[in-house]
Structure 1
Amino acid sequence: MTEEETTAPAPPPPPLLTLRDGLPPVIETPEALAEMCEQLASGTGPVAIDAERASGYRYSSRAYLIQLRREGTTTFLVDPIAFESLEPLQRTLEGTEWILHAATQDLPCLNEVGLYPTELFDTELAGRLLGYPRVGLATLVETLLGFHLAKEHSAVDWSTRPLPVPWLEYAALDVEVLVELRDLLAAELVETGKDQWAQQEFDYLRSFVPAVRVDAWRRTSGVHRVRGRRALGAVRELWETRNEIAEQRDVTPGRILPDAAIIAAATALPTDRDALLATKGFHGRGADRYASRWVAALTRAAELDEDDLPTRAPRGDGPPLPRAWAEKDPVAARRLVLAREALAELAQEQHLPVENVLTPDYLRRTLWTPPSSRDPEKLAAAVADQLAGYGARPWQIDLAGPVLVDAILTADVEPEVVVPDSDADSDA
């Protein structure tokens, strides 16, 4: 028998997902919005919702297209830019369950236009709780529903008007089978006993508020190569100037001036326009058009008092980086090692990503400054209260709380520890 005869043929590729009702028109008039609301109200069950933003093109994270689908109706495409208010839609959706994929990405821009969910089901988060290794929408649709979902227009400029037909088809497909996907995941959550965990997570998401990033300029790519507080001050002044310009023009900051140019100018510290534009890496339309503002930013940095210059390490109220724990507090370092090991085992047993068992920041804060009591019952209650105060959900406290209590009690007995030089979860 030849090798060709013994080799099994490759399985056929999954069929491409298509629109079952065809492409709907974009809703951009009050009359069309009112008619859509009537149709949505006549449907049954949850409402699948998605939103498209112009990330990478615009400064704002506003929604430039909203897609909706409900059983008993069809798919709707709404242009939120065309309306001063979407209050009619909010009234129609009141009391319904929203189905979103990666709700933390879409909820802020939906809230911005006055849309708030009464109930929520996040298909991405459900996939994480169920232990799926990849939880992108296209992957879950292919894994659970057997369709290939094309994603070739995911990074386009959704502020473009009019929106091209292929983009609209792509957007409509994102809600085409979201109801079916939700039903399969919900059934699996019940089957695995994780439905209450999911409900707590969904309830938490409904009140989700994105954290305000402190000292966001520190995330400038390449800032670690900058030497000296004066140069750090220059990075901060240039970043803040760029941010002001980007906000005024509603353009993503990197299109005004790349991070590499900020780092180059902060390193060279040129004092006039000619020297600035001659700086290696400082080029492009934004560099030349706003040259006077960049020079002014560098001048401000040069004139700052020493006490006003930024330090290398940002000030914060949290614990130090884990690699410093062994030196600063060996017992705390021991707690962290013990808890991390136990949580990793627990996550594997429950088929969960370890960061979903307990947010790494909550873990570090609790173990760096644990409750003072060492009575097991009192300590367990205090740890639970501390975790709840940080925002941990009850199911996480039930799972992770005993692990932290055990790590705290054990570390007091065995204080010696060597912490690996790794901060892989320091930003989680």
Structure 2
Amino acid sequence: MTEPITPDPIVPVLTKRWQSPRAWDIDVYEQLEGYTALRHALSGLPDQLIELVKASGLRGRGGAGFPTGMKWSFIPQGSTGPGAKPKYLVVNADEGEPGTCKDIPTMMADPHSLIEGCIITSYAIRANFCAIYIRGEALHPLRRVRYAVEQAYAKGYLGRDILGSGFDLDIVVHAGAGAYICGEETALLDSLEGRRGQPRLKPPFPATAGLYASPTVVNNVETIASVPAIVQGGSSWFRTMGREKSPGPKIYSLSGHVTRPGQYEAPMGTTLRQLLELAGGMKDGIPLKFWTPGGSSTPMFTAEHLDIPLDFEGAAGAGSMLGTTAVQLFNETVSVPWAVMKWTEFYKHESCGKCTPCREGTYWLLQILERMVHHEGTPADVDTMLDICDNILGRSFCALGDGAVSPITSGIKYFRQEFLDLCTEQPSVAHPDQLAELTGASA
């Protein structure tokens, strides 16, 4: 099969309504072809929608990249009589990955694309209840999505007998309490059920025992918002964008030392070199030193990786992950050990504490990194950190532990000498100003 032709990367699909005045209002959304895909979807059968999304090749935009249609098909559909368990759709809008900021703009500028996607997805998996779980600190998108849900009820797109189809659906918008761990789907489900957000042991998987121990699909905001476009344009059209194994458009979040930071929609497989051209290049012309392709939990890249295709296969083939496409760029003025220390502070703070490797490992990694940044480390600390990382990777209860070690292992891989250079500068007598800096006190 030949590689699909990649169209102009600035032709918008997911972001096409963002610049329209009051695009978040249902009347404007309807004027811009909103809810036409829903009418088309309700005229067909649920299984046809699942097959359509399978054929489109849409993969989860929350980081894992699992085929969306396949995920939907895992929901058991055989028993529908009395006593059968209900099916649920849960939308993961707990956007907490450092550097990730693609879902909040979607919910602010175009919340009805998410709601329309929720209705179509719920119809496909035969769910009559959907929960949208939004990060608690994101007050503005929370209010906007709730208002959009109210508008959808008033217009007959939600509730009983939607558009005369006989399909019923209720949507609840739930505010999380601000825990990063609730971005992990099973911790999110525990939080929705009113318990402390901690990851569950798998199996069983959410597809068979999710929310309230019932079959549940958990999808990211961008994944669900892509569904109406697929229904409207078809699977073949969707595959004209991106690459063969990673088709479709993607929202890339560029932040850091870039001239015009922000959200850039482009086909999957777009390179950082191309994204930088759209964003005006590096700020102040200072060269790029290192960057993350998908947030701080993905192994970092260097300036040598500018032409890596930013899709699931391209990022993995170069030794990292696509993740949430939170592209953080750092110029040559930034210390790698310092940046790694700041990220490790975050993961140590956000570890739920359920498993020993993550709880203890992130604590000790932070202690070592703080020593090194303050010029109190030793060369042996570098190997000690790698040993700790090896005992966390693949041994923690969920992916938080794996993500916590990624910046450390990749930082040492590409910039080991920077860590060692810090170890050689150990003052025998600390000056009062240095002591104040180390302790955080004022001189």
Fold shared, TM-score > 0.5 on shorter chain? no
Higher relative strand content: 2
Q: TM-score range by the shorter chain?
A: under 0.3
Whichever of the two has the greater Rg, that structure is 1
TM-score of the two chains, using structure 2 as the length reference? 0.24
Please report the TM-score for the alignment, with normalisation by the length of structure 1.
0.25
